């Protein structure tokens, strides 16, 4: 009996002296500091890296293309994840408590879902853009214009924001599972369980773009490989430059395969575990332990931090733009007219 009382007294609550407070899971100082450092670095990379992408594309006129408009909008979504979502989620993860009020909990959930799905839809649109560019390069400028890019951006934001706020801000996600929500709710928590109907829609919003991207990237790789072989066979007829040209073609093919492979691997590794767990949870009355849920959520968050590395930092023109921004040379007159492709033009 005395042992049970001592264990009860040792339990920490998110809000002391408040009935129905959530139980706090404290960390020792070492792991606590490491967690804050790791999660904080992720938020800083998502915010800083994507902000650099936006500034570079907006400032340099040479980058005002339909593809880069998509990249800039994608970077905006990932930047907002790093600024409005990840810092608050970091506190929730480390402290195992929500200290920012019930009202902002709803907004945080809406922002979380909106910006993450906006990032997903933009990545899908980028795959379509690249497919058109690779399969029909001559007609690409007339097929994928700034207007087409603008439509893709508008639809990506519309569907993600509409889906998020129509479900979580209105409380539609809790319909039919009210008793379960009451049982899971405590003061200091910020959970947004999805009922079976909405989790199915969530799965479809993930599954359809994912299947489309896998198919499109597969086609891109096959077309690029076919084109590379065709160019290589044609170039082999010119004996003086055959070897150097073949090397350039092979290097370009490997770079394309590597970029596409990393993009898809990072996307699937970040999103797939979370989506599968969300579906399973909805049908098994939310059995996922809190720490497992936090890990899966942060995998999705870190995809926003990786996107600048995958879609921008791989390109020489972007590295040059970053040097100009960081060194302050963008403040010079006519800096927006700098030629970012003057060097390494053949390797981009």
pLDDT digits (tens, 9 = 90+) for 86-97: 999 999 999 989
Alpha-carbon gap, residue 274 to 296, rounded angstroms: 5
pLDDT band at 9 (very low <50, low <70, confident <90, very high): very low
pLDDT band at 347 (very low <50, low <70, confident <90, very high): very low
Which band of pLDDT confidence, cut at 50, 70 and 90, is reported for residue 33?
Answer: very high
N- to C-terminal Cα separation, the chain: 72
Answer yes or no: are the C-beta atoms of 24 and 12 closer than 8 Å. Answer: yes
Q: Is residue 250 pLDDT above 60, yes or no?
A: no
Q: What is the pTM of this model?
A: 0.85
> Is residue 253 predicted with pLDDT exceeding 80?
no
DSSP 312: T
Residue 8 pLDDT > 80, yes or no? no
pLDDT of residue 342: 61
Q: Looking at residue 6, what is its pLDDT?
A: 42
Query: What pLDDT sits at residue 137?
Result: 77
Q: Please give the full DSSP string across 156-208, using - where no structure is assigned.
A: HHHHHHHHHIIIIITTGGGTT-HHHHHHH--BT-------HHHHHHHHHHHHH
pLDDT at 92: 92
Q: How far apart are CA 151 and CA 250, in angstroms?
A: 35
Q: By the 8 A CB rule, do 43 and 51 touch? A: no
Q: How confident is the model at residue 45 (pLDDT cuts 50, 70, 90)?
A: very high
Asked if the model's pLDDT at residue 235 lies above 80, the reply is no
163-179 mean pLDDT: 84
Q: Which two tokens stand for residue 286?
A: 């939310």
Degrees to nearest 5, angle at CA 26 with 24 and 28? 175
Residue 67: pLDDT band (50, 70, 90) is: confident
pLDDT average, residue stretch 34-54: 94
Q: Are 131 and 216 in contact (CB under 8 A)?
A: yes
* pLDDT of res. 340: 83
Name the 3-class secondary structure at 137. coil
Overall average pLDDT of the 56-62 stretch: 90
Q: Note the pLDDT of residue 258.
A: 64
Over range 326-336, report the average pLDDT: 86
Position 217 confidence tier, pLDDT thresholds 50, 70, 90: confident
236 pLDDT above the threshold of 70? no
The pLDDT of residue 315 is 76
pLDDT (average), residues 153-160: 95
Highest mean pLDDT among 7-16, 52-61, 281-290: 52-61
All residues at 6 or more sequence positions from 226 whose CB lies less than 8 Å from its CB, including other chains: none
Quote the mean pLDDT of the chain: 83
d(CA 54, CA 39): 23
Lowest mean pLDDT across 8-17, 48-57, 184-193, 268-277:
8-17
Q: Residues 73, 33: contact at Cβ < 8 Å? A: no
User: Can you tell me the distance from the alpha carbon of 129 to that of 107, in angstroms, rounded to the nearest whole number?
Assistant: 32
Number of H helices and E strands in the chain, helices first, is 12, 2
């Amino acid at each position: 009996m005395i042992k049970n009382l001592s264990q009860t007294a040792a339990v920490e609550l998110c809000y002391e002296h408040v009935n129905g407070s959530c139980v706090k899971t404290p960390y020792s100082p070492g792991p606590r500091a490491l967690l804050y450092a790791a999660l904080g670095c992720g938020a800083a990379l998502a915010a800083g890296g994507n902000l650099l992408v936006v500034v570079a594309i907006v400032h340099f006129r040479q980058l005002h293309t339909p593809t880069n408009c998509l990249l800039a909008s994608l970077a905006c979504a990932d930047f907002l994840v790093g600024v409005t979502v990840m810092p608050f989620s970091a506190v929730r993860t480390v402290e195992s408590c929500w200290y920012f009020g019930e009202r902002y909990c709803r907004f945080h959930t809406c922002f979380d879902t909106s910006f993450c799905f906006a990032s997903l839809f933009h990545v899908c649109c980028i795959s379509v853009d690249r497919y058109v560019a690779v399969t029909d390069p001559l007609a690409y400028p007339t097929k994928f214009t700034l207007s087409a890019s603008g439509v893709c951006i508008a639809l990506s934001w519309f569907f993600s924001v509409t889906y998020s706020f129509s479900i979580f801000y209105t409380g539609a996600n809790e319909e039919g599972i009210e008793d379960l929500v009451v049982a899971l709710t405590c003061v200091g928590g910020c959970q947004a369980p999805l009922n079976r109907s909405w989790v199915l829609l969530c799965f479809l919003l993930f599954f359809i773009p994912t299947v489309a991207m896998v198919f499109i990237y597969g086609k891109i790789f096959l077309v690029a490989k076919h084109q590379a072989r065709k160019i290589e066979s044609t170039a082999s007829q010119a004996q003086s430059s055959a070897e150097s040209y073949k090397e350039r073609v092979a290097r370009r093919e490997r770079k394309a395969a590597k970029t596409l492979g990393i993009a898809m691997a990072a996307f699937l590794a970040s999103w797939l575990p979370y989506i599968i767990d969300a579906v399973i949870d909805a049908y098994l009355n939310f059995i996922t332990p809190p720490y497992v849920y936090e890990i899966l959520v942060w995998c999705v968050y870190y995809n926003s931090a990786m996107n600048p590395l995958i879609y921008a930092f791989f390109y020489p023109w972007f590295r040059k733009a970053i040097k100009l921004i960081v060194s302050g040379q963008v403040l010079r007159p006519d800096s927006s007219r700098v030629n970012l492709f003057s060097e390494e033009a053949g390797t981009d």
